[in-house]
C-alpha cells in the first residue's frame, strides 16, 4: 500500500498522465495500479499501461489485485530469453487483463527498440491519441 500511495501522490503532483510505463518490478506495481483503476479508483486517472517484463506479485496480501479481470488497456512486452522475469511469468500477468496486447521479442530483460517493436508501440499508443476515438 505504501508504494501505491506514492504512485498516487506522484500522479497527482506531476500529472496528468495518459498512461503508465513499468519495467520489471515497476511493471508489477503498475499492474496493481491498473487493477485499482479498473475498479474505478480515482487516485489513478490513467487510460492505459505498457508493462515490460512484468509479473504478478506472489505476496498473499496482493492476491486481490488479480481475482477479477483487469479492464484497462495494456501492452505487455515479453522477452523470450528473459532470465530475470521469464516469459511464462509475463504471459501469466497478461492473462489477468481484458484483451491484453502481448508483444514478444527474442531478447532478454530489456526494453526492445528495434523497428518491429517501435511499430507495435506506435500502433498501441495511437489508440489513445486525441482525436483517434479515445
Number of domains in the chain: 1
Which residue has cell 503508465?
A: 20
36-92 pLDDT per residue, tens: 999 999 999 999 999 999 999 999 999 999 999 999 999 999 999 999 999 999 999
Judge whether 78 lies within some domain.
yes
Domain CATH code at residue 111: 3.40.50.1820
The verdict on pTM exceeding 0.85 is yes
Mean pLDDT in residue range 25-30: 97
109 in catalytic set: yes
> DSSP for 57-85?
---GGGGGGGSS-B-S-EEEEEETT-SSS
Higher pLDDT, 56 or 131: 56
Domain that holds residue 98: 1-126
HSE-CB for 89 with a 13 A CA cutoff: 20
Catalytic residue among 76, 82, 90, 105: 82
Judge whether 11 lies within some domain.
yes
Judge whether 59 lies within some domain.
yes
Catalytic residue among 3, 18, 24, 76: 24
Amino acid at each position: 500500500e505504501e508504494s501505491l500511495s506514492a504512485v498516487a501522490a506522484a500522479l497527482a503532483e506531476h500529472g496528468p498522465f495518459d498512461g503508465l510505463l513499468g519495467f520489471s518490478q515497476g511493471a508489477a506495481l503498475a499492474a496493481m495500479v491498473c487493477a485499482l483503476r479498473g475498479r474505478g479508483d480515482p487516485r489513478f486517472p490513467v487510460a492505459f499501461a505498457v508493462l515490460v517484463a512484468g509479473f504478478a506479485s506472489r505476496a498473499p496480501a496482493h492476491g486481490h489485485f488479480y481475482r477479477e479481470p483487469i479492464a484497462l488497456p495494456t501492452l505487455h512486452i515479453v522477452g523470450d530469453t528473459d532470465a530475470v522475469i521469464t516469459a511464462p511469468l509475463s504471459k501469466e500477468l497478461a492473462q489477468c487483463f481484458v484483451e491484453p496486447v502481448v508483444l514478444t521479442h527474442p531478447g532478454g530483460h530489456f526494453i526492445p527498440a528495434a523497428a518491429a517493436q517501435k511499430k507495435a508501440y506506435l500502433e498501441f499508443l495511437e489508440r489513445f491519441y486525441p482525436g483517434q476515438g479515445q
